[in-house]
């Protein structure tokens, strides 16, 4: 975590402690001066208010600007929003499929209690409560209405400044190329790129870990912690091989490498040392490799080492010969296994005789905001918080039809780690936010990823690996 985020986190905790002490003093005064029964009533009301309006994890201020830079080949067009809400370009719309609009938002009073949003044609993209600053809307897929002057931009519980900038970015349709998706865990490929790989003429999916940790639910079957972790690892390994078939990727193009959750960073720091599972007590990655379509270097000794991981990935690059690799964003996605996965992939590219032309980066987790993409399932994907500047990568944001979104939701529903009910506390929080803060969740599943990942867009950062 950066120094800025550490500072904000300390300030947040300090303010929370101050607020708790003030609340305690007020409760004591009320109990002494008014009536004792006001104390439990106010405690309940305070808890309700916290869960409905103050439980989001934002490690930045809603007034902070987002900072994005785009590559030199992005076309920048000035535009304005007319009195009737129509978006008016000063020049004809440039060619390009990915349209990102820079706007300045200012929340209304109501937008401090109910999520503010911007309507863009038939889309609705939401932002932080109390937003005040520079944000980026995703207009991809609405070029026809924009070029015709019919696209309307209307703030809901926020004001949109009338002067805006449009960034038009052009990429080939990467689904028409050979694509390899690197998934640190089962479900990462589906969360980030189901829409992409289900359209690919030739896709391969490589899952690095078994996903065996946090298996407490399986202990209800009478298993001890190690047995529960082994069962969960087997199930999620099966998911990584079987679920892609729903999106048209055959078993011959799906590989499970069998390394262990949250051990990839340790492996990277000690490349020749083996790191077994923290919970299953297993140390041999071959336990879940039996259904792989080809032999790999790590099969020789089954050791969970960094050297084996990089060797496995290099062999897969040479076997599938992808033109495009899809992997977690090295700056945006902070999950330790995700960071190490991309690091391992680039080490494998350096060691391999096959060199992909393009990397597409995705972010399934964020440092700053665990609700992104904000808003409802089926809505567009506005750009995530970038409080500190990111590399000036091109963006590619292909659209998903209603049928593709439904298929993606069903693919997520097949993943064992996304099944089951949330904890009671989270269910109570959702109920309060439903009635008091206007939030909604989809019928397709209760896990938060059914809301966050099933959208009208997928979003990738494009980096060319070869000139």
| Letter string b/e over residues 279-289, b meaning 16 or more CB atoms within 10 A of that residue's CB | bbebeebbbbb
Mean pLDDT within 384-397: 94
CB 449 within 8 A of CB 373: no
- The answer, yes or no, to whether residue 5 has pLDDT greater than 90, is no
DSSP type of residue 214: -
Task: Give the pLDDT band (50/70/90) at residue 317.
Answer: very high
| Residue-by-residue DSSP string for 260-315 | -TT-HHHHHHSTTS----SSS----GGGG-TT-SS--GGGTT----HHHHHHHHHH
Q: For 409-436, how does the pLDDT look when each residue is reduced to its tens digit (9 = 90+)?
A: 999 999 999 999 999 999 999 999 999 9
Q: For 424-467, how does the pLDDT look when each residue is reduced to its tens digit (9 = 90+)?
A: 999 999 999 999 999 999 999 999 999 999 999 999 999 999 76
Task: Give the pLDDT band (50/70/90) at residue 255.
Answer: very high
- Structure token digits, residue 194: 């189901």
> What pLDDT is recorded for position 438?
92
Q: If you compute the radius of gyration of the chain from its CA atoms, what whole number of angstroms results?
A: 24
Q: What angle do helix axes 38-53 and 3-33 make, rounded to 10 degrees?
A: 160
> What pLDDT is recorded for position 3?
56
Return d(Cα 62, Cα 127) in angstroms, integer. 9
Which has more pLDDT, 421 or 407?
Answer: 407
Q: For 52-80, how does the pLDDT look when each residue is reduced to its tens digit (9 = 90+)?
A: 998 888 888 999 999 999 999 999 999 99
Which has more pLDDT, 375 or 11?
Answer: 375
Task: Give the pLDDT band (50/70/90) at residue 8.
Answer: low
Mean predicted lDDT score pLDDT of the chain: 94
Return d(Cα 337, Cα 23) in angstroms, integer. 40
Which has more pLDDT, 50 or 5?
Answer: 50
> What pLDDT is recorded for position 35?
74
CB 152 within 8 A of CB 85: yes
Return d(Cα 431, Cα 437) in angstroms, integer. 10
- The answer, yes or no, to whether residue 4 has pLDDT greater than 90, is no
CATH architecture designation of domain 174-464 = 3-Layer(aba) Sandwich (3.40)
Q: For 270-292, how does the pLDDT look when each residue is reduced to its tens digit (9 = 90+)?
A: 999 999 999 999 999 999 999 99
> What pLDDT is recorded for position 1?
39
- The answer, yes or no, to whether residue 140 has pLDDT greater than 90, is yes
Q: For 325-369, how does the pLDDT look when each residue is reduced to its tens digit (9 = 90+)?
A: 999 999 999 899 999 999 999 999 999 999 999 999 999 999 889
Contacts of 129 (CB under 8 A, 6+ apart): 53, 56, 62, 107, 111, 112, 113, 114, 115, 116
- The answer, yes or no, to whether residue 38 has pLDDT greater than 80, is no
Q: Where are the domains of the chain?
A: 3-53, 75-169, 174-464
Q: For 171-218, how does the pLDDT look when each residue is reduced to its tens digit (9 = 90+)?
A: 999 999 999 999 999 999 999 999 999 999 999 999 999 999 999 999
């Amino acid at each position: 975590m950066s120094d800025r985020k550490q500072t904000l986190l300390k300030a947040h905790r300090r303010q929370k402690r101050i607020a708790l002490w003030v609340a305690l003093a007020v409760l004591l005064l009320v109990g002494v001066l008014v009536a004792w029964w006001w104390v439990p009533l106010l405690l309940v009301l305070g808890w309700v208010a916290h869960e409905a309006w103050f439980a989001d994890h934002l490690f930045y201020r809603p007034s902070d600007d987002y900072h994005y830079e785009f590559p030199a080949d992005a076309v920048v067009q000035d535009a304005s929003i007319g009195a009737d809400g129509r978006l008016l370009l000063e020049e004809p719309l440039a060619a390009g499929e990915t349209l990102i609009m820079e706007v300045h938002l200012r929340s209304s009073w109501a937008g401090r209690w109910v999520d503010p949003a911007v309507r863009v044609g038939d889309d609705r993209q939401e932002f932080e409560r109390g937003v005040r600053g520079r944000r980026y809307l995703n207009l991809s897929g609405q070029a026809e209405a924009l070029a015709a002057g019919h696209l309307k931009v209307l703030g809901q519980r926020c004001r949109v400044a009338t002067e805006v900038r449009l960034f038009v970015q052009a990429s080939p349709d990467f689904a028409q190329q050979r694509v390899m998706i690197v998934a640190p865990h089962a479900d990462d490929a589906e969360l980030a790129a189901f829409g992409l790989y289900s359209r690919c003429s030739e896709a391969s999916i490589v899952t690095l870990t078994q996903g065996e940790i946090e298996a407490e639910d399986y202990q209800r079957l009478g298993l001890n912690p190690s047995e529960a972790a082994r069962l969960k690892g087997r199930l999620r390994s099966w998911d990584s091989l079987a679920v892609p078939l729903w999106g048209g990727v055959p078993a011959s193009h799906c590989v499970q490498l069998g390394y262990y959750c949250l051990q990839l960073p340790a492996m990277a720091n000690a490349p020749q040392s083996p790191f077994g599972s923290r919970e299953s007590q297993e140390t041999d990655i071959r336990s879940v490799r039996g259904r792989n379509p080809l032999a790999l270097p790590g099969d020789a000794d089954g050791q969970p080492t960094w050297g084996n991981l990089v060797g496995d990935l290099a062999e897969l690059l040479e076997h599938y010969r992808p033109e495009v690799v899809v992997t977690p964003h090295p700056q945006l996605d902070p999950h330790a296994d995700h960071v190490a996965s991309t690091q391992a992939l680039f080490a494998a590219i350096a060691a391999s005789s096959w060199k992909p032309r393009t990397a597409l980066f995705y972010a399934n987790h964020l440092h700053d905001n665990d609700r992104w993409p904000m808003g409802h399932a089926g809505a567009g994907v506005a750009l995530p918080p970038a409080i500190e500047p990111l590399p000036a990568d091109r963006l590619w944001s292909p659209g998903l039809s209603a049928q593709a979104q439904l298929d993606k939701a069903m693919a997520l529903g097949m993943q064992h780690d996304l099944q089951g009910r949330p904890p009671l506390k989270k269910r109570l929080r959702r109920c309060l936010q439903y009635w008091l803060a206007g939030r909604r969740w989809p019928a397709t599943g209760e896990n938060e990823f059914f809301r966050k990942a099933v959208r009208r867009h997928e979003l990738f950062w494009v980096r060319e690996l070869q000139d």
